[in-house]
Amino acid sequence: MQAMTEGEAAARRAKVLTAARWCFLNFGFAKTSFEDIAKRTGLSRTLLYRIFKDKEDIYRAVFLDWLVSRRPAAKEAASGPGDAYERLLRVSRLLALEPWAEMLNAPMGDTFFDVCERIDPASDALYRKVTLECVTTILGDKASAEVFLLALDGLFSDHPAPDVLEQRTQLLAARFAPPTTPKKSVRRR
């Protein structure tokens, strides 16, 4: 039997992480089994155990792959072109709004961060650190960045639709970093 190439192994791992994320978002951590992930991936449980030692290991990998891996793009957006308002929106979309859109329609999506904080506080702290660094780069000071992020967290409290969250984030970003160019008006429903 021929050994897998590094690319094939990476593709298999990515497939497992995508399937596991779907299971965690739809069944929750407690009700997701290795069997669920294996079935969704099309692999045996035995093979899955060769890749990950347990369900918590998969959960950590899903969190890191899905959210923390956005760090390079977020750092680039934070220091890239555009005024502070535009950069703040890009970072917010990458690190908060896009994941929220996927979590929102999933039955157990609202528990995803809570479970990660409990299972893997180090990864959760890394995600928060990355977010704080990016916003601090844009706003220029850590205290303002912390307040912005607290306010941004508050925008999620009533589980808004993605378009509503986008509007709210635009308003919030404008308070912290007024746009230097006239922004397009946002249609309200």
pLDDT the model gives residue 58: 95
Cα–Cα distance for residue pair 109/62, rounded to 1 Å:
13
Query: Rounded mean pLDDT of 108-124?
Result: 85
Regarding whether 89 and 37 lie in a shared domain, the answer is: no
Residue 2 has pLDDT above 80, yes or no: no
pLDDT the model gives residue 182: 64
Q: Is residue 95 part of a domain?
A: yes
Q: Is residue 123 part of a domain?
A: yes
Please, are residues 20 and 63 in contact by the beta-carbon 8 Å criterion? no
Regarding whether 27 and 74 lie in a shared domain, the answer is: no
pLDDT the model gives residue 1: 56
Regarding whether 24 and 106 lie in a shared domain, the answer is: no
pLDDT band (50, 70, 90) for residue 184:
low
The range of the structural domain enclosing residue 43 comes to 6-59
Residue 187 has pLDDT above 90, yes or no: no
Domain boundary among 14, 30, 59: 59
Query: Rounded mean pLDDT of 181-188?
Result: 55
Q: Is residue 181 part of a domain?
A: no
Please, are residues 68 and 130 in contact by the beta-carbon 8 Å criterion? yes
Query: Which CATH number belongs to the domain containing residue 13 in this structure?
Result: 1.10.10.60
Q: Is residue 187 part of a domain?
A: no
Regarding whether 90 and 131 lie in a shared domain, the answer is: yes
Residue 127 has pLDDT above 80, yes or no: yes
pLDDT the model gives residue 83: 97
- DSSP H helices in 30-120: 34-41, 45-51, 55-66, 71-79, 84-92, 98-104, 112-119
pTM of the model: 0.82
Q: How many domains does one find in the chain?
A: 2
Query: Rounded mean pLDDT of 153-157?
Result: 92
pLDDT the model gives residue 105: 81
